[in-house]
Chains A and B, each alone.
Chain A
């Protein structure tokens, strides 16, 4: 089918099969490769995007479900994502970096929903994302740090 996908505020004309997972439409058709493939079965979160603001595993929803919705990927920008990028860098979080697109999107979604998440909130929100390098403690710290940065700004 021929349709349009709205990604990070930009419209992309795409020709796709209806049931193609959104992940592959983003990566192979639109050509934005920041969103990663890790498992294909909604287990690892490497493919995380926001769809109308909702955290979504893009490997497991058909592209047809994303039409006329606003898709937000790691190539996008938002206040919370920018703060998280900063605290991610301050904390030297990534190792191989591969899962970090998904981690940052999941963390953005968390901060969009909860102003000041507790450790438990973070555990609940971030446990859909696997980091094989094991950067969890740094991710947790960077999320808390982002909240502190935001509070400083107010």
Chain B
């Protein structure tokens, strides 16, 4: 990417002639302006994304977001190509390095399409306009006499055609159209948007030729493994390396001190004892053969079972009032016909992407080059500049394919490790975590306890709702002693509860962190949805109402709630996904013996989701038979990809509901590998039925994450429907139900 040039901030887009004989277009505008304002300078604007058209007609599009299975390389490319009236067979996609000039590259929060669709479309539309202008000049006709179609500009008067590639020279001399003149296509004219495009990476995925971080090979590179303290933030007291040194292939063994992140940002690294070898396995073997005495530190006494009891106790007494309460729950409960209470638990969870954390780095004195599967390459780059005191422009982060991410690869501690080791050994090195490292030294999804109390009047209407929650905060990973859930976390389902309830009160209780806490696919929504959907089902049962009818009543009348974002909550759309899913699942029909249906709805990442699960329960063992999900995610960019995401989210949600549990004893994680941190497998997979609401005129909203939070509560509600027994504490394997 050495031929990227600076673009004047005043220009929306700019075209460059390239040495390769192509033209390059940069785009400098976004629906979310802050996404695109570069941090290093206010005077120049670096383009964020690129169209590269060559004389042979090939178009290379740059993907600025990391590909971790969500299909973003295909989705963003299809948006540009649609407006550009490109022939899809000429399109290829290159991955951007980590750099501010591409705008915000942080691939999380289900927001890539949400924030990038419009700028991508504008970029395509601009190129199309310029190609039309170029052709009009050639023919000496007015631009309105020309149209673009399938990689050609067509003269409407004569039906003459010019191939896009043949317009490169002419187009390079065309002035940029003013931003106001850019016209985007109507929904009815979309060729790729809203349709189905297969992944641009299928060929590589089916031949083993996609390069993930762990596949990076640099001449003379070394391989490294790190023994990290089993107790979070413990340090090395002493170690014996005699045995490890004897492992064939081991070349170096040394201590790596912890790098503590500055308050408020970055992840640092845990430190430990490093084994450098000439192959991965020797590094793993050497690590196993180390004899290390640890200073286990303050977290040594941490016991997740005891912590569960502590949190439970705390949610059973008054907590800190969270803003947003209305009415008076105490008075409401006093006058209710019935009140019910329930307490719910979700344990710590680990992301366990199939590709373990790993990174390859080469520290060369005044430069650093990294090849790594990172979700947030810019933060990784800033972090390296901070810790290694190298000017940021001398640091290159090459983003590989990610073999799954789920939030784990947003935290670039593994990159910092690789650079620190490379600096020490003065050679390129790949640090690879074992699966045990991954499960035992993660940034965990926080465990949670929540207590709910509800009141019901004589007609079975909800009169009051009290919810008390406690879970260690993600903020604790950045700011010590952050002992209460933060506002942004509570806003994931708790404070933005979409039910119309007159008397509502939310309280938060203390929950200190003794492990590194991070975000995992759908984050706090996992526990907010579990608590709320489970409790609504319990209220419905007490009110003797059909759960779906009960949800609909709680959502209340059609209304739009404007928030700070440009995505107001629309209760009508929420009810629609619920009604649609009920129809799909044939809700209300007679079920086979021992079968049950359960429902859950949730609003997350601005998307509306309803899921119904059918389980069978035989000899107290649960089998998930069917999952029906409807999503309303506004404009559906790539339909089959959205379907695939939701199928995957169902399996991800099942894994955490059935098996997901990370526990700690004496500060150390008890799980080791997939035999004791189990995943859903083929034999457990149900039939999954996905429906996407046609909402093409609405802006696009999240897809990657919203499918997860509904699964666990829908399963547990289905178990109740089948057996009359409530599951209030995940996972089912703890209750011997799988």
Contact = CB atoms under 8 A, between A and B. Distances in A.
Task: Answer yes or no: do A and B interact.
Answer: yes
Interface of A: 17, 20-21, 23-24, 27-29, 31-41, 43-44, 46, 73-75, 85, 88-89, 92, 94-101, 104, 122-124, 126-140
B354 A124 contact: no
A95 B15 CA distance: 34
B640 interface: yes
A137 B654 CA distance: 14
B603 to A, nearest CB: 22
A35 B201 CA distance: 17
Contact of A75 (B207, B404, B406, B434): B207
Contacts of B139: none
B212 A98 contact: yes
B652 A132 contact: yes
A96 B69 contact: yes
Query: Which 7 pairs between the two chains have the least Cβ-Cβ distance?
Result: A34-B208, A134-B651, A98-B403, A96-B69, A95-B69, A74-B208, A97-B205
B674 A130 contact: yes
B647 interface: yes
Interface stretch (B230-238, B276-284, B537-545): B276-284
B457 interface: no
B279 A74 contact: no
Interface in B44-95: 67-71
Contacts of B205: 88, 94, 97, 100
B28 interface: no
A73 B208 CA distance: 9
Contacts of A132: 352-354, 404, 406, 652, 655, 679
Nearest to B679: A130
Contacts of A129: 681-682
B199 A94 contact: yes
B206 A36 contact: no
B688 interface: yes
Given A38-B435, A134-B652, A135-B644, A28 B208 contact: no
Interface in B674-690: 674-675, 679-683, 685, 687-688
B207 A43 contact: no
A51 B683 CA distance: 25
Contacts of B651: 131, 133-134, 136
Nearest to B435: A39
B644 A20 contact: no
A40 B207 contact: no
Contacts, number: 180
Contacts of B673: 39-41, 43
Given A33-B217, A92-B640, A44 B279 contact: no
Contacts of A35: 208
Contacts of A101: 208
A133 B679 CA distance: 11
B202 A92 contact: yes
Given A128-B681, A131-B354, 5 more contacts: A41-B674, A94-B199, A130-B354, A132-B655, A134-B680
Contact of A89 (B71, B206, B402): B206
A121 B413 CA distance: 42
A96 B401 contact: yes
A136 B681 CA distance: 8
For chain B, the bracket of interface size reads 35 or more
Interface of B: 67-71, 196, 198-199, 201-212, 214-215, 217, 223, 248-249, 279-282, 284, 352-356, 401-406, 432, 434-435, 640-641, 644-645, 647-652, 655, 673-675, 679-683, 685, 687-688
A147 B641 CA distance: 24
B212 A133 contact: no
14 contacts: A28-B281, A31-B217, A38-B435, A44-B674, A85-B207, A92-B644, A95-B645, A97-B204, A98-B403, A130-B681, A132-B652, A133-B648, A136-B651, A136-B681
A94 B215 CA distance: 18
A24 B281 CA distance: 6
A65 to B, nearest CB: 15
Contacts of B69: 94-97, 133
Nearest to B402: A96
B440 to A, nearest CB: 14
A22 to B, nearest CB: 10
A11 B209 CA distance: 20
B207 A137 contact: no
A127 B68 contact: no
Given A27-B280, A43-B675, A133-B648, A96 B404 contact: yes
Contacts of B406: 132
A34 B434 CA distance: 18
B226 to A, nearest CB: 15
Nearest to B681: A127
A3 to B, nearest CB: 14
B356 A37 contact: yes
A32 to B, nearest CB: 8
Given A43-B674, A89-B198, A97-B205, A137 B647 contact: yes
Contacts of B198: 89, 92
Contacts of B404: 96, 98, 132-133
A95 B644 contact: yes
